[in-house]
Structure 1
């Protein structure tokens, strides 16, 4: 029996193309990182209403892109008047909205921006999930307050560690970027185990 080497090479090439995503997902895991985009955020108009938003940056730490990445809200805690933290959301993973109100998973390579918190003038500071849900009703700051947010970026071929971000809002509506840097302090993400009160 005579083997046709071109046929064998063609079959190998086809099988490689079919199974390449599986090979990447299982043998080339991508490490994702989460950082704060900047300390001032962005103020813009939604219709006629001034709105301020803060973003996080989801990035890869390799040359291989991460596929179908979603940033999940894991939990939210609000600081009570007595100084104790009270968990107000812990009902499973809730995907956050990508910048420009984009939903679904994203290809990350080298980075993408994800919405974290938003406030409109005269409104409440709140998180920005991909779908509205009543389970986040208590996860809002209507004036001065502090909030801790647990998030994790998860993709088909890699993820980030779960991180905690602390939001400290003084309840004011500043008119300048420098004012926002002082009025709404969003910490750099830290691994959840690194928090010490």
Structure 2
């Protein structure tokens, strides 16, 4: 799990969604339906916020609900309801919410047409440049800086996976790499993995990088 975020670091629309009255009404309905103590309303809201902030894993939600007093045989159902209604709209900052529901064996009912909170939009090029700056990596010439942008872009558009990107970052400059240290490469990739969940990154339709075709015998 990545380092916990802070509420103030969340995109504005996500923060507003987490604090809206619909969330309170939803939590109150769960409390009333399952006969929980009134104080459980704030605890359910706290669980949702903690998942959004990365303080607890989404996968542990059923167990957390059992601790609140929901019967074990009901926890998957309730966790799935919470995920569909209050986590799926902000999946951009959480991850694969629907996939987790499936892993629980829960129901995706109600997922169709679920509106997502709007995340700030940024172009892939802008994000790549910002990632280099914010992760503390610097380049002495524009050629290497541009190469760094292209490598990051190829990772964002999934032309390279994380392992391939890492190898390219530490590879010699003479063969297309950047010669970053292991620490620098890991720091840059960690920044990208963390921050891309807060943004709607616009990936160009035309690929920036494509794997070369194998040589014909």
Q: Report the TM-score, using the length of structure 1 for normalisation.
A: 0.26
More helix by share: 2
Q: Which has more strand, going by share of residues? A: 1
> Which protein has greater RCO, CA pairs closer than 8 Å, 6+ apart?
1
